[in-house]
Amino acid sequence: MRKLNWVKMLVAAATIGLSTGFAHGEGDGLTKVTLALGWLRNGQYASILAADAMGYFKDEGIKLELIDGGPGKSPVSFVGVGKADFGIHGPTFVFSARVAPAPVDVVCIGALNQKYSYAYITLGKPSDPDPTPKDMEGKTIGIQSDGEMFLKGLAEANNLDMSTMKIRTVQGGAEPLLTGAVDFISGHIHNQTYQVELEASKPDAPANLKGKTWKALKLSDYGMDSYGDVIFTSGKMLKEKPDLVRHFLKAAARGVKLMQDDPEKVAELAAKYPGQIETLDKIRWRMPIQNSLSVSEDTRTKGFLWMRPEVWDKQMKFYHDNGQISHVIPAAEVMTNEFNPGIKSK
Q: Quick check: helix, strand or coil at residue 190?
A: coil
Residue 190: pLDDT over 90: yes
- Residue 191 DSSP one-character state: T
What average pLDDT does range 164-188 have in this prediction?
96
What is the spatial distance between Cα 14 and Cα 16, in angstroms, rounded to a whole number?
6
Residue 103: pLDDT over 80: yes
pLDDT at 28: 81
**Which fold does the domain 118-221 belong to in CATH?**
D-Maltodextrin-Binding Protein; domain 2 (3.40.190)
Return the CATH number of the domain spanning residue range 6-115+226-333: 3.40.190.10
State phi, psi for 230 to the nearest 5 degrees: -120, 155
Query: Domain extents for the chain?
Result: 6-115+226-333, 118-221
Does the global pTM surpass 0.75? yes
Same CATH topology for 6-115+226-333 and 118-221? Answer: yes
Write the pLDDT tens digit of every residue in 8-65.
Answer: 555 455 444 443 333 445 558 999 999 999 999 999 999 999 999 999 999 999 999 9
> CA nearest 51: which of 279, 288, 231?
231
State phi, psi for 340 to the nearest 5 degrees: -65, 130
